[in-house]
Amino acid sequence: KQEVTQIPAALSVPEGENLVLNCSFTDSAIYNLQWFRQDPGKGLTSLLLIQSSQREQTSGRLNASLDKSSGRSTLYIAASQPGDSATYLCAGSSNTGKLIFGQGTTLQVKP
Amino acid sequence: GAGVSQSPRYKVAKRGQDVALRCDPISGHVSLFWYQQALGQGPEFLTYFQNEAQLDKSGLPSDRFFAERPEGSVSTLKIQRTQQEDSAVYLCASSLGREPSSQYFGPGTRLTVL
């Protein structure tokens, strides 16, 4: 059974710092790995999708990597801004698309 | 273009009442997913449709939960005889094709059972 774990559960950094969020999964038969952002009381916004044949994806200040052999994905945020404050969720998908989520990392970027 | 919409956004039910939650996916999206998110937790899978066919309902917590997508577009999640542990945010997501791809989420319905 696929299990997804995110470390740390919460993170507080000053504005401008580069930071890394970690995600680990137990089943290397993961199909895709998707990173989401969730603001309080809101739905999920897709940030990056890494397909099984890929190792990383980049969008603006965000870079996500996937290492299936070690069961890990990281989300790198460069030059963090207060507007980046949110909960970040990673999710692995099965071959049907069903997502298994981690519990999230709540990020606070202080001005 | 319009994203995934859900209604109602908030629902308060007395224990024992039946509720129906609606999801309007992105037009043309074949796959539709329902998830349940408890406070402070990540979403958990409930059920999955491909067009009108419910291909996976392994995540439905009990037989009080029922989902349908009769015409392959709008979906309804119904919870019968609600209980306090059903209180959660119910999220709907859709994706374009049959193959796993980016899922686009609606804003969710926050259900509170008193």
CA gap B34, A88 in Å, rounded: 19
Q: Provide the token pair at A59.
A: 């969008």
pLDDT in tens, A82-94: 999 999 999 998 8
Please give the pLDDT value at position B1: 55
Residue partners of B37: CB distance under 8 A and separation at least 6: B43, B44, B88, B89, B90, B91, B108
Q: Which of chain A's residues have a Cβ under 8 Å away from the Cβ of B100?
A: 31-32, 93-97
**pLDDT (0 to 100) of residue A95:** 80
Average pLDDT of chain A, as a whole number? 93
Judge: A49–B101 Cβ closer than 8 Å, yes or no. yes
Tell me the C-alpha distance between A35 and B42, whole Å.
12
Residue whose entry in the numeric block shows the structure tokens 């009990």: B62
pLDDT at A73 over 80: yes
Q: Which residues, at least 6 apart from A70, have a Cβ–Cβ distance to it below 8 Å?
A: none
Cα A18 versus chain centre, distance: 15
- Closest CA in chain A for residue B31: A97
Judged by CB atoms closer than 8 Å, whether chains meet at A46 and B99 is answered as no
Looking at residue B101, its pLDDT comes to 78
- What residue ranges of chain B have pLDDT lower than 70? 1
Quick one: how far is CA B60 from the chain centroid? Answer: 10
pLDDT at res. B18: 98
pLDDT at B38: 94
User: pLDDT (tens digit, 9 = 90+) per residue, A5-57?
Assistant: 999 999 999 999 999 999 999 887 888 899 999 998 888 999 999 988 889 99
CB contact under 8 A, A97 and B100: yes
What does the pLDDT average to over A70-89?
96
**B10 CB neighbour count, 10 Å cutoff:** 11
pLDDT digit string (tens) for A22-36?
Answer: 999 988 788 889 999
Q: In degrees rounded to 5, what are phi and psi of residue A83?
A: -70, -10
